[in-house]
Amino acid sequence: MTAFAARKMFSQTRLSQCAALALLALAATGCAGKPNRDGLTTGSVPATRVSTGSLTGMNATELAGTERSIGDTYARDPKNKEIGLQYASVLGMTGKTTQALAVMQQVAIAHPADRDVLSAYGKAQAAAGQLEQALTTINRAQTPDHPDWRLYSAEGAVLDQLGRSDEARQKYRMALNTQPNDPSVMSNLGMSYVLSGDLKTAETYMRNAAGQPGADSRVRQNLALVVGLQGRFSEAEQIARKELSQQQADANVTYLRSMLTQQNSWAKLADKDGKPKPGNTN
């Protein structure tokens, strides 16, 4: 099977779904405040604080335990900004987008003018499919006299999902003007080209993003996805496993498989590499 035929197997809808999922994950990187080594935001919070990076390396059991722990803390103090932000983030990572949105609605009521809260609220709205509302919320958080590059990136992600790719790319480039070579923004820009089916251009941006010092596993996952979509599965798996612990590497490959199994494409791409899966008769 040719790489071109493998690419053709993906309908535009399926390809857009894959890209949109990855895009959303990266769009909000840093949107809930300035990251530091200890967690998602600056400021003092209880011991349940966890970082976005540590969350991405957790298995399902660990995530569930973290969710319960932060959830208990949130229940005792639902107006606490930092705890609310973290709880919504963990809920989003476990697929509970409706609950994450409900948490952020409550936090936004308690902190209606807080930029970090509005940013995270917009992320939760977008994850729940409320794209137009998310755009409005993110625009409320942005201040023209002191713009935040993270908000430009988040706005671009929402615009991409609304099919407004030219506007989205303009926002990513505005973000890069103030935060040059940021890997999350470049990765989002690359995913924008995935959404429009331009995989070669997407790979160029993704490789640049993955080569930056601050690139994390999510950026490498997106690069692996783009490489895999072009039929180069062995290379994609190598990228997905690069510089990670065995547990994180296995999680990355599982992510890659879940994306490429749309319309049985994983088996097709494995065939392309000469390593058919057992039972594959195609």
Tell me what pLDDT residue 83 has: 95
The Cβ-side half-sphere exposure at 214, using a 13 Å CA radius, reads: 15
Q: Which CATH architecture has domain 3-272?
A: Alpha Horseshoe (1.25)
Q: Which has the closest alpha carbon to 119: 94, 99, 97, 136? A: 136
Please tell me the pTM assigned to this model.
Answer: 0.72
- Residue listed under structure tokens 């003018």: 113
Q: 39: pLDDT confidence band, cut at 50, 70 and 90?
A: very low
Q: Who contacts 238 (Cβ-Cβ below 8 Å, separation ≥6)? A: none
Q: State phi, psi for 39 to the nearest 5 degrees.
A: 175, -160
Q: Exposed (0-12), middle (13-18) or buried (19+): which is 190, by Cβ within 10 Å?
A: buried
Domain residue spans of the chain: 3-272
Tell me what pLDDT residue 252 has: 67
Tell me what pLDDT residue 276 has: 42
Tell me what pLDDT residue 75 has: 95
pLDDT, greater one: 148 or 57: 148
Tell me what pLDDT residue 218 has: 84
Alpha-carbon distance values, 151 to 127, 137, 214 (Å):
15, 10, 18
CA–CA dist 261, 248 (Å, integer) = 20
Tell me what pLDDT residue 20 has: 54
Average pLDDT over the chain reads: 77
Q: pLDDT (tens digit, 9 = 90+) per residue, 77-134?
A: 999 999 999 999 999 988 899 999 999 999 999 999 999 999 899 989 999 999 999 9
Tell me what pLDDT residue 98 has: 95
Q: State phi, psi for 214 to the nearest 5 degrees.
A: -90, 5
Structure tokens at 113: 């003018």
Q: pLDDT (tens digit, 9 = 90+) per residue, 188-227?
A: 999 999 999 999 999 999 999 999 998 988 898 889 989 9
CA–CA dist 133, 129 (Å, integer) = 9
Q: 46: pLDDT confidence band, cut at 50, 70 and 90?
A: very low
Is residue 229 scored above 80 in pLDDT?
Answer: yes
Asked if 92 contacts 127 with a C-beta cutoff of 8 angstroms, the reply is yes
Q: pLDDT (tens digit, 9 = 90+) per residue, 48-67?
A: 345 444 565 566 788 888 89
CA–CA dist 102, 92 (Å, integer) = 11
